[in-house]
A and B are shown apart, each in its own frame.
Chain A
Amino acid sequence: MKALTARRHHRFAPVVLLTLALALTGAVYAAFTPTQATAAAAPTETDIEMGQALFRANCATCHGTGAAGREGVAPSLVGVGAAAVDFQVSTGRMPMMANGVQAPAKPPVFTEEQVQQLAGYVASLGAGPAIPSADAVDAAKGDAGNGMALFRTNCAMCHGAVGQGGSLSGGKYAPNLLGVDGTTVYEAMITGPQSMPVFNDATVTPEEKRDIIAYLAAQEQGSPGGAALGSIGPVVEGLWAWVIGIGLLIVAAVWIGAKSS
């Protein structure tokens, strides 16, 4: 029995288990990760025309037929670049469903192709940040450690220490960044949508942006201590400890003190 047990827990057992676990994790990850869209080819004349048609039908009510914006209604889109359009439209923030303090993310209205056409049209109006290449947002090439230092300084005050989001003033909020793909994070930094300030390539270099994306990707593996309880902060997690933990202790004390029937 002893020998059998010893053989069963052979010194290669952890290696085999680990290999199997890694292979399984990799396979699941590969199966669920959408293939990265290849960097958009330069929009053709027809793309821009299609984009203009889409713009006139869906966006011009607020942004004006020439995308010059309307005072007090919607900003000018001349010079915002393709990155801003891709961020706003592919996350469903635009077109806005209703007026409010903040345009929330929702299922996108347009297909990937239509977003590219719109982005091509808006980019043709004036130079602005372009959609980043797949290489620029590849988390595997970033340094998550440096990303953490940058995230802590530039992002954590609004988005929380691990990117779970947080509230701002007047009902506005910084959205949760976990599960958001790298391209969207990059575009948000470079365009500064809504309340968010701009982090251009001089203030946060493209390499540093990739580091931040790598840090966020590392957070998606979850918390090393088990259930993260939302990672919103010590108040929420403390509340759990007090209410659930002390509640359980009270139940145990009552059970110990109660007479058996």
Chain B
Amino acid sequence: MERPGPGAVLRLAWRILAHEKGRTVLAVAGVFIAILLVFVELGFFVAVPRGGMLVYDHLRFDLLLCSTDYAFQAEPGQFPRVRLAEAAKVPGVAQATPLYFAGAKWQEPRGGYRLDAFLIGFDPAAHPFAVPDIERQGATLARPDTILVDGASRSIFGPLTAGTEILLDNRKATIGGDYRLGTGFLGMAVAVMDEANFFRLLAPRPADAVNLGLITVTPGADVQKTADALARALPNDVRVFTRPALTEHEDTYWTTRTSVGLIFGSGLIISFIVGIMVLYQTLATQIARHLPEFATLKAIGYTDAYLATVVMVEAAMIVFVAFVPAAVAAVAIYAQIRSATLLPVDMTAPNLIAVLGAALAMSAASAFLSLGNLRRADPADVF
């Protein structure tokens, strides 16, 4: 008999799906939910390390200088300030500027809870923050005892309107304004300030101890070579991270040293299995329904391989039709999660591709599982 072309396969798969619209809609809805589930779990899984990188993503540096005790961003250890001056002399280094971190008790002057806030001191002249709101408010930062507060700080910290007076470790400070960055995993509230204000508010903290050093290289200088030169030039109480190495370090910290990686990782695995279950059940039901028709096709000479292709195409069609609305719904859910949990859950191209790949893998796996029924379709048995 005449060999049916690829167009015929598509048409047959489409006709099967279009034949009983109710069931097909149901199947697409099931796959939609399964894909959405994978999106949500993946969003969380990726959000945690991304939350850990949020502040780094908005800092200007090519190389990060830190203590050998560095654990993760909020627990960076300290190193002597003189290392920055030494680093600045290394060929290829354009600038080396310090960041100072501290925790402080935040309280409204009339009393109430003493909340934990995370404070960052920096040199505004060095422009370490790539945050427009901070750049814009340089004059505000220069005022004594004035801080800028991250607008994503928890609402329990009260209104963050400019001019509000607060106590930080029982010393008066004024909120000069706010900025949009996100607190990441630094704490419930984050405030940045000029280093002069930082040391006045946190006296008697010695100015000699730096938490992080942000190094920019001169235009044209090789980042990796500069990193190697720094590592050679500086004593071994400090270490140097390139941006990729830092991302890897923070990722590893969040996914292996804390419970979160495992929690969301296991959620992801289970969501994947549930997705396969839904798809398999859907496809197997479709095949079981059309067993007489498939048997007839077999009887008139179509091969198992041809019918298997039809089922695969059917599965892929269902997945594609379900994928688009699932991706759209996921964007909406991500926005909800962002506002509810303050985690940076975003739809990114890698997320999109990973889930599409996973969905197609799920459809292939479930189509493969349901082919057993098809192979058993014996024309003689069915009628």
Partners in one complex: no
- Which residues of chain B have a CB within 8 Å of any CB of chain A? none
Binding site for B on A (CB under 8 A): none
